[in-house]
Chain A
Amino acid sequence: MIRLENVSMTYGDQHTYALNHVSLTIEDGEFVFIVGDSGAGKTTLFKLLIKEMQPTSGEIFVNGKCVTRLKRRRIPMLRRDIGVVFQNFRLLKDRNVYENIAFAQRAISAPAKDINKNVAEVLTLTGISEKYRSFPDQLSGGEQQRVALARALVNKPSILLADEPTGNLDPGNSRAIMEILEEINRRGTTVIVVTHNHEIVRQMHKRVINLKNGMIANDIREGGLAYER
């Protein structure tokens, strides 16, 4: 479960709020869209959840742990339970698909005997098995995002955070990525998608948290069709 209690984040003069007294709860196994215009605070929220930033005030809890008071040396443990996917994929260009995914397993010192099995599993889940030897430059945008998804999932996180995962993709690939995310969610992972893609949000019928000027403008349970910009 993710819980934000009165979280604020200010920049510069202390009067510019990226997030302004935000409180929200995301239950285990939920699928949530976070939407809003540029500068609404979506990316700040994303960074606060993985403790890339520290809020100016308020508390953040992830799976019962207080992220805001987490010691620096404990951050890796938090991140092992949160898979992250970025708009620009962030794959290592000099490593093939298999190495890009196995890299995440090695980073958490997974036993060598489990790495092959786990990588094969997520490659199948994301539908990219046949390309495991290809390098990122040899893949389409959709395929690269599948690899990024596989990397985020290989450590079996309980939460998946995706920051504009369809931002660089055409509608067909966007839909395919969302289907994979839905499947991941069906298997029990909490999925949080930060997006600008209103079409997809409308189609998915999931909870939608709409941020405006750093505040929650509305939080629509089972949103989808009800969500209008």
Chain B
Amino acid sequence: MKGSSFFYCLGQGFKGIKRNKVFFLASVATIAACVFMVGILLAVMMNINFVLKEAQDSVSITVFFDEDLNENEIKEIGKRIEGWDEVSHIEYTSAEDAWATFKESYFKDNPELAEGFAGDNPLANSASYAVYFNEIEDQSTIADRLSSLTGVRKVNQSEVTANALSDVGKIVGIISLVIGVVLFLVSVFLISNTITTGITMRSEEIKIMKYVGATDFFVKSPFVFEGVIIGLIGAIIPLIILFFVYRSALTYIMSQFNTITDAFSLMPVSQIFALLIPVALILGAGIGIIGSSIATNKYIKV
């Protein structure tokens, strides 16, 4: 397409909107409603995944070592574990730290009982590493690999927690996918109907263009540009509304539900919108392009 034709088609896209204001408003409202629903779904699902990820990140495997290993040898093994791809990070707990934590937990009401162990650490062989991993599904594999290491005495893992979190993650994924697909199909149906109604009113214009020798591409271009403009506006409006809704919801939850927010945190506005903005714009423009192309095709075969 030549530069002049490109600007002509773009200009016609804007003029088409000006000439068909009702159709424009109906299409924008339909797209805005769909993008808004997708936005809400995305924000909720992203938060569920965020909370799950936090929970998963707190799950670790504890590794204890043979009694005859000194601290340097234990740390040497720790370095090797840390180098594994599946491992995100490790935390070392020395025998002294372990005893201090134990005393704090079990003898806080009767500290005199702990004094009986003065100078004799009953957990002398309890130096350990807490091994954290990238994917919770890798827990069993990592545990097996740890058990096979020379110098490792015992490996503790919480398989039930890991499996439960992994299953919840999968269920959330499936639910998001199903709701997302249903929403998308409903959106395409609503939007193609709205756009078809608008283009039906302009079928004469399409026919005349075809009679004077316009190519299909040239005929479609103004309608596609129009679809993109409608789609982008239809995406920007719900984005603005979602921004204020999400920010208010976040503030409200933080202030009203302390017990929940103490246990886990919700995604900040910036993180949600870093994904939501491109998704909404691509979705809006995409629906606009697909909807106007489908609707134009009905009249282009003259």
Whether B2 pairs with A107 at a CB distance below 8 angstroms is no
User: How near does chain A come to B217, taking the closest CB pair, in angstroms?
Assistant: 10
Whether A79 pairs with B205 at a CB distance below 8 angstroms is no
Q: Which residues of B contact A84 (CB under 8 A)?
A: 211-212
Q: Which residue of A lies closest to B8 (CB)?
A: A106
User: How near does chain B come to A111, taking the closest CB pair, in angstroms?
Assistant: 7
Whether A107 pairs with B4 at a CB distance below 8 angstroms is no
User: How near does chain B come to A192, taking the closest CB pair, in angstroms?
Assistant: 15
Q: Which residues of B contact A77 (CB under 8 A)?
A: 213
User: How near does chain B come to A220, taking the closest CB pair, in angstroms?
Assistant: 29
Q: Which residue of A lies closest to B9 (CB)?
A: A106
Scan B183-224; emit 1 where CB is below 8 A from any A CB, else 0: 000000000000000000000110111111111101100000
B70 within 8 A of A: no
Whether B4 pairs with A92 at a CB distance below 8 angstroms is no
Whether B212 pairs with A109 at a CB distance below 8 angstroms is no
User: How near does chain A come to B299, taking the closest CB pair, in angstroms?
Assistant: 13
Q: Give Cα A84 to B2, complex, Å.
A: 25
A170 within 8 A of B: no
Q: Give Cα A78 to B19, complex, Å.
A: 31
User: How near does chain B come to A158, taking the closest CB pair, in angstroms?
Assistant: 13
Bin chain B's interface residue count. 20 to 34
Q: Which residue of B lies closest to A91 (CB)?
A: B208
B302 within 8 A of A: yes
Whether B209 pairs with A107 at a CB distance below 8 angstroms is yes
B5 within 8 A of A: yes
Whether B205 pairs with A107 at a CB distance below 8 angstroms is no
Chain A binding surface SS class: helix
Q: Which residues of B contact A76 (CB under 8 A)?
A: 210, 213-215
* Segment 15-51 of A: residues with Cβ below 8 Å from B: 50
A108 within 8 A of B: yes
Q: Which residues of B contact A135 (CB under 8 A)?
A: none
Q: Give Cα A90 to B219, complex, Å.
A: 17
* Segment 56-109 of A: residues with Cβ below 8 Å from B: 73, 76-80, 84, 90, 92, 94, 103-104, 106-109
Q: Which residues of A contact B204 (CB under 8 A)?
A: 90, 92
Q: Which residues of A contact B213 (CB under 8 A)?
A: 76-80, 104, 107-108, 155
Question: Considering only CB atoms and an 8 Å cut-off, how many residues of chain A contact the other chain?
Answer: 23
* A-B contacts, CB under 8 A, total: 53
Q: Which residue of B lies closest to A154 (CB)?
A: B212
User: How near does chain A come to B285, taking the closest CB pair, in angstroms?
Assistant: 25
Q: Give Cα A52 to B19, complex, Å.
A: 28
Q: Which residues of B contact A78 (CB under 8 A)?
A: 213
Q: Which residue of B lies closest to A157 (CB)?
A: B213
Among B1, B4, B5, B212, the residue within 8 A (CB) of A104 is B212
Q: Which residues of B contact A3 (CB under 8 A)?
A: none
User: How near does chain A come to B50, taking the closest CB pair, in angstroms?
Assistant: 50
Q: Which residues of A contact B1 (CB under 8 A)?
A: 109
Q: Give Cα A11 to B219, complex, Å.
A: 29
Whether A79 pairs with B212 at a CB distance below 8 angstroms is yes
Subset of 12 A-B contacts with CB under 8 Å? A50-B211, A77-B213, A79-B210, A79-B212, A80-B213, A84-B212, A94-B19, A107-B218, A107-B219, A109-B218, A111-B4, A151-B212
Given A73-B216, A107-B218, 20 other A-B residues pairs in contact with their CB atoms under 8 A: A52-B302, A76-B213, A76-B215, A78-B213, A84-B212, A92-B204, A92-B205, A92-B208, A103-B208, A103-B209, A104-B213, A107-B212, A107-B219, A108-B212, A108-B213, A109-B2, A109-B5, A109-B218, A112-B4, A152-B212
8 interchain residue pairs of minimum CB distance:
A107-B214, A80-B213, A79-B213, A104-B212, A76-B213, A112-B4, A109-B5, A76-B215
